[in-house]
Amino acid sequence: MKLVRRIAATGCTLALALGGLVAVAPTASASPQGCFYYVLENVPNADQELVEDACRTGAAGGEEAFRACYHLLREDYVPAVVAANACRRAAE
């Protein structure tokens, strides 16, 4: 009887662990989306194509990608604080 309980407990633990991995996996690729939605929440009239390009550029990470992302957003008159925060989100 104890063996059955151990097998059941192991199966439940494995299911929870795999479920957690599945829940976390989509967020790893969603960082450019987080950047995109952050900008549009704070600057609703921003050019969506330009914001998308900037967020994809910033997703590469690193200083150059951050600067390129920031520069693109500032060209569309996105406030400096919003642009910087969005580009940081894109690289996460």
Sequence spans of domains, the chain: 31-91
3-state secondary structure of 68: helix
Q: Answer whether residue 57 shows pLDDT above 60.
A: yes
CA atoms within 13 A on the CB side of 66: 11
pTM comes to: 0.66
Give the confidence band of 33 by pLDDT, cuts at 50, 70, 90: very high
Q: How far apart are CA 30 and CA 2, in angstroms?
A: 43
- For the residues 47-56, what does the mean pLDDT come to? 96
Q: Answer whether residue 79 shows pLDDT above 90.
A: yes
Whether 52 and 34 have beta carbons less than 8 Å apart is answered as: no
3-state secondary structure of 53: helix
